[in-house]
A = this chain, B = another copy of it.
Amino acid sequence: MTHPPFAVTVDLVVLTVREDALHALVVKRGEAPYRGRWALPGGFVQIDEDLDAAAARELQEETGLSRDDVHVEQLATYGAPRRDPRMRVVTVAYLALAPDLPSPTAGTDAADARWRSVADLLDSGRSLAFDHAEILRAGVERARSKLEYTPLAAAFCPAAFTITELRRVYQVVWGATLDPRNFHRKVTGADGFLIPTAATTTRDGGRPAMLYRCGPVTLLSPPLMRPAGQS
Residues of chain A touching chain B, judged by Cβ–Cβ distance below 8 Å, are 1-8, 44-51, 74, 76-81, 87-90, 92, 221-222, 225, 228
Contacts and interface: CB of A to CB of B under 8 A. Distances in A.
A51 B74 contact: no
Binding site secondary structure of chain A:
loop
Given A8-B90, A76-B74, A81 B49 contact: yes
B44 A4 contact: yes
A120 to B, nearest CB: 27
Contacts of A46: 1, 4
The 3 closest A-B pairs by CB, nearest first: A5-B5, A4-B47, A3-B7
Nearest to A228: B221
19 contacts: A1-B46, A3-B7, A4-B47, A5-B7, A6-B6, A6-B8, A8-B90, A45-B79, A47-B88, A49-B81, A50-B79, A50-B80, A50-B81, A51-B78, A74-B76, A77-B77, A90-B90, A90-B92, A221-B228
